[in-house]
Structure 1
Amino acid sequence: MKKLFTILCCTAMFALATTSVKAQSYKNALGGRFGSYNGVSFKTGLNKNAMLELIGNFRSSRGVNYVQLTGLYEVYNPIGGAPGLNWYYGGGASIGSVKVKGFDGDVYLGANGVLGLDYKFKGAPINLSLDWIPTLRITPDTDFYGGDIGLGVRFTF
């Protein structure tokens, strides 16, 4: 797990140092993502119409502790007549762990899709997004999760 985390961090730093964004009106964004999985979200531009999003989710409730790291490649398309508004789609992967009090924990891997809307306020460093992220869990048991709908609120820079 440490190797995967190191690889994702190095990829994000490389992307920060070598990319520019032309389809979106911001290069980087950092903030929160709120839905059934609350967490921290970071987006960075990869090329003229694509971004990398990293989401760190966490949840603790009734003796169940959950943590997940998701990396998504997102392709952005402007919506005509609506400056600052884009729709996006893409895919990625997630790795996570769940621990139930009194039982052994599980580490799992998943393949993710993403479909959403992204809006950058003109003249303000604020970005909002609303997206859907369905997941095909690969390990320890294969199953499909219909997805999490989340609202992202980020500071752009």
Structure 2
Amino acid sequence: MKKLFTILGCIALFTVATTTVKAQNYKNAIGGRFGSYNGVSFKTGLSKGAMLELIGNFRSNNSFSWVQLTGLYEVYNPIKGADGLNWYYGGGASVGSVKNKFSDQSDIYLGVNGVLGLDYKFKGAPINLSLDWIPTLRLTPDTDFYSGDVGLGVRFTF
């Protein structure tokens, strides 16, 4: 538990210390995120150069069903010479549930997430695209590392 608080503290300190960059090109965006976990994504601007992203994911196969909610604090940095294109990084947490369809057993899990991605806002159109990678350190019910989900986000900006 001490390691977890140390990691979370370092992530929070790092993100707070680096939020003085130029802001992204929109205030809010809502749409879908498509990867191994498909779901709904909502982004909102917090401070100059930072956004909060909430992702509701779901996945199912013949044996299991998963539902997960992820919250990410993201720091945006413009890419020079490419108007509307930013790269971003950050961290957050997730909570989810997995259900075994055959045994009717389920578990709740918690995780710590990182995020690294690219974000593009089309000039003159309310469309935003992102491509990101979200690795996860799962804390419960068993501690393990999930190397991450690569996802494509397609959102309407406002």
TM-score (norm 1): 0.85
Q: What is the CA-CA distance between 1:59 and the residue it aligns to?
A: 1.1
Distance 2:54 2:126 in 1: 19
CA-to-aligned-CA distance 1:25-84 (integer Å, 9 cap, x gap): 100000000000000000000011000000000112103111000000000000000000
State the partner residue of 1:111.
112
Please identify, of 34-43 and 99-108, the stretch whose mean Cα deviation from structure 2 is larger.
99-108
State the partner residue of 1:129.
130
State the partner residue of 1:17.
none
State the partner residue of 2:70.
70
CA-to-aligned-CA distance 1:85-140 (integer Å, 9 cap, x gap): 00000000000000011331000000000000000000000000000000000000
Give the ranges of 4+ consecutive aligned residues of structure 1 lying more than 2 Å apart after TM superposition: none
Q: Percent identity?
A: 83
Distance 2:141 2:132 in 1: 26
Distance 2:81 2:152 in 1: 23
Aligned residues: 136
SS at match of 2:46: strand
State the partner residue of 2:33.
33
SS at match of 1:81: coil
Instruction: Calculate the aligned-residue CA RMSD, in Å.
Output: 0.8
What letter matches 1:37 in structure 2? Y
Residues 1:50 and 2:50 aligned together:
yes
Q: Which runs of 5+ in 2 are unaligned?
A: 1-21
